[in-house]
């Protein structure tokens, strides 16, 4: 089954409800059975309210946000959980989730059971659960009763679909915002068309028609929107893009199954060896202290040609005491690369370069212990380890997958037709 139809099924069998219903942690859907209690449904036993995957009825709940300097014991001590039990809880939890990861600003809940020792006695609270929200999607559920321990859980995730359509008036970013679409959809679009459109030069009158999906957790959109299909008309030329997953990595293809992505060369120097990998916590060999290494070092003899890993424009051809002689290239609105410690530079700022073109020669200028090129890679302005980055497929769709791709295109087109442009997000079960 294709990725899209899997999702539609998953959402379709999920609990009914509208996108704006504020989720209660555990999700009533997990209780199964018929929920809703519509006008004509027969009276039934009320279903237990679930939250964080546990029965939430009859619990007395206190909640708040972790304050600066607060630890688990600060939060549990007032509820009468002894320091010894907190220590056991922390020890039992360490392998699953270390309580020392708790950070200020995150939400927590303490749920207790009201217990009466005799009919006329005052109720006392016995702590049952402590929940710490790790991020908008995930939480840690601590059991405070008999077995002290932790379980990790996630809120139910809804997938919603939307379609953005319009004509560029200012920029993709501003125009999306104006018609109620997330501005980071512009970033997603820039990635889809990274190799075909320079969005900094997109002009008034260019048009877009984009179908995308987003995840919604507790009524709030989470994460980046994912472009499913798009037609961007640039200089009167329509450029289609369809998302298709091969080997678990999503890529964008045109109607004929040609990839919209190009490939980068694996390394900027031939016949080299990697002498140091990307490591944000590296101990610097020259400075003798921890200083992140945000590049990959390729050792090669002095004078070995260094080549551009992709087409682009030289944005820097310069010298600093740390970098030595270096060159930086912008490939498109998404990717940039930089090459350090050259003995000699071979290109000027503003110059266009082709993939494989020599841009300089290996040396050890700047902070370097031997001849090598320190190769750095940026994606959307953030430095990344290019050896770990899963680049989208750059080959055309394989002949064996042509049928699956054609089916996916049909589905994506059908989805697009069912979405009213700029009308707000719709869950799969709300599509007609």
Which residues sit at the interface with Zn ion, rule CB under 5 A? 295, 297, 374
Identify any residues that bridge with 362 across adjacent strands, giving them in sequence order.
342
- Alpha-carbon distance of 368 to 353, in angstroms, equals 26
> Strand pairing of 283-284 and 358-362?
unpaired
Under 8 Å between Cβ of 210 and 163: yes
- In terms of CB distance, is 6 or 273 closer to Zn ion? 273
Contact 110, 127 (CB under 8 A): yes
Q: Closest distance between Zn ion and the C-beta of residue 276, in Å?
A: 6
- List the structure tokens of 408: 């996916």
Of residues 129 and 377, the one with the C-beta less far from Zn ion: 377
Separation CA 189–CA 40 (nearest Å): 46
Question: In whole angstroms, how close is the CB of 372 to Zn ion at the nearest point?
Answer: 7
Q: Which is nearer to Zn ion, 129 or 298 (CB)?
A: 298
What minimum distance in Å lies between the beta carbon of 295 and Zn ion?
A: 4
CB of 374 to Zn ion, least distance (A): 3
Give the CA distances from residue 209 to residues 5, 168, 225, in Å, rounded to whole numbers and listed in that order: 21, 11, 15
Give 295 or 425: the residue with its C-beta nearer to Zn ion. 295
Pair 305, 358: CB distance under 8 Å: yes
Distant-in-sequence, close-in-space partners of 194: CB < 8 Å, separation ≥ 6: 261, 331, 332, 333, 334, 335
Distance CA 191, CA 234 (A): 16
- When the beta carbons of 297 and 336 are compared against Zn ion, the nearer one is 297
- Closest approach, Cβ 319 to Zn ion, in A, equals 16
Closest CB to Zn ion among residues 41, 318: 318
**In 3D, which of 123, 126, 122, 130 has the Cα closest to residue 113?**
126
Q: Give the residue nearest to Zn ion (CB).
A: 374
Q: How far apart are CB 361 and Zn ion at their closest, in Å?
A: 17
């Amino acid at each position: 089954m294709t990725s899209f139809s899997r999702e539609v099924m998953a959402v379709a069998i999920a609990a009914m409800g509208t996108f704006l219903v504020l989720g209660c942690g555990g999700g009533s859907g997990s209780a199964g059975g018929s929920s809703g209690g519509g006008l004509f449904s027969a009276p039934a036993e009320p279903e237990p309210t679930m939250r964080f995957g546990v029965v939430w009825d009859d619990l007395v709940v206190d909640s708040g946000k972790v304050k600066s300097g607060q630890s688990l014991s600060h939060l549990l001590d007032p509820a009468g959980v002894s320091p010894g039990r907190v220590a056991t809880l922390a020890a039992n939890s360490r392998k699953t989730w270390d309580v020392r990861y708790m950070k200020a600003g995150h939400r927590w809940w303490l749920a207790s059971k009201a217990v009466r020792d005799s009919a006329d006695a005052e109720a006392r609270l016995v702590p049952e659960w402590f929940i710490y929200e790790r991020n908008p999607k995930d939480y840690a559920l601590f059991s405070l009763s008999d077995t002290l321990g932790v379980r990790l859980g996630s809120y139910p995730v809804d997938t919603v679909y939307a379609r953005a359509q319009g004509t560029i008036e200012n920029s993709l970013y501003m125009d999306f915002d104006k018609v109620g679409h997330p501005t980071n959809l512009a970033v997603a679009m820039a990635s889809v068309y990274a190799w075909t459109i320079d969005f900094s030069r997109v002009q008034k009158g260019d048009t877009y028609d984009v179908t995308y999906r987003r995840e919604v957790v507790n009524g709030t959109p989470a994460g980046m929107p994912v472009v499913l299909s798009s037609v961007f008309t640039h200089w009167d030329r329509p450029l289609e893009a369809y998302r298709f997953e091969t080997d678990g990595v999503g890529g964008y293809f045109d109607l004929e199954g040609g990839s919209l992505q190009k490939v980068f060369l694996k390394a900027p120097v031939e016949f080299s060896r990697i002498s140091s990998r990307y490591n944000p916590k590296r101990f610097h060999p020259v400075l003798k202290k921890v200083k992140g290494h945000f590049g990959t070092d390729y050792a090669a003899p002095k004078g070995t040609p260094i080549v551009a890993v992709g087409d682009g424009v030289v944005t820097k051809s310069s010298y600093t005491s740390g970098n030595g002689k270096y060159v930086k290239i912008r490939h498109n609105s998404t990717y940039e690369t930089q090459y350090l410690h050259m003995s000699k530079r071979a290109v000027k700022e503003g110059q266009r370069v082709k993939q494989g073109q020599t841009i300089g020669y290996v040396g050890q200028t700047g902070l370097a212990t031997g001849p090598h090129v320190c190769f750095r890679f940026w994606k959307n302005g953030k430095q990344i380890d290019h050896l770990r980055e899963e680049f989208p497929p750059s080959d055309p769709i394989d002949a064996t997958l042509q049928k699956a791709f054609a089916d996916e295109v049909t589905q994506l087109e059908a989805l697009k037709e069912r979405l009213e442009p700029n009308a707000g997000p719709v869950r799969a079960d709300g599509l007609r």
